[in-house]
Amino acid sequence: MAIKVEWDTDEKTLVRWNMDSNWTWDEFDRAVDETGVLMDTVFHQVDLLVLSEKSLPPTPNVLPHFMYSQTYPIANDNGGHLVIVGFWQSGIIASIMRAVEKTTPRSKKVFISVQFFEKESEARKFITNNRQ
């Protein structure tokens, strides 16, 4: 599978996506769904760490998939931070993600914020320092 979704911590406070270089929008949407299922098994804040260092989104149709990822209905309303590492951190993809985040009403958002980092260590430090 091109996008692997799993708990990153035993405490179930962080879901991690490992993204291969070749993935499809169907796999992306499936990863969003799997993340929602995991988040609905707990009642505390859950952050999402996306490791995309060697991947770029397939084109076209970026916007509907990013909108879906930001507004997926989570029953427990426990989304923390969406933290993305890799190529997505710069350029048009980051701009689109930020635009989706800014235009989505908080009542419909899954995550508190979307953050971008070049290195996994920086992303993990942000997650640790910003747990609520």
- Residue ranges and CATH numbers for the domains of the chain are 3-129 (3.40.50.10600)
pTM, entire model = 0.82
pLDDT, tens digit only, all 132 positions of the chain: 689 999 999 999 999 999 987 888 889 889 989 999 999 999 999 999 999 866 666 666 766 666 666 666 666 678 899 898 986 655 666 676 677 666 665 555 577 788 888 899 999 999 999 987
Q: Which amino acid is at 54?
A: K
DSSP state of 1: -
The secondary structure element, H or E, covering residue 48 is strand 46-52
What's the CA angle centered on 19, arms 13 and 25, to 5 degrees? 105
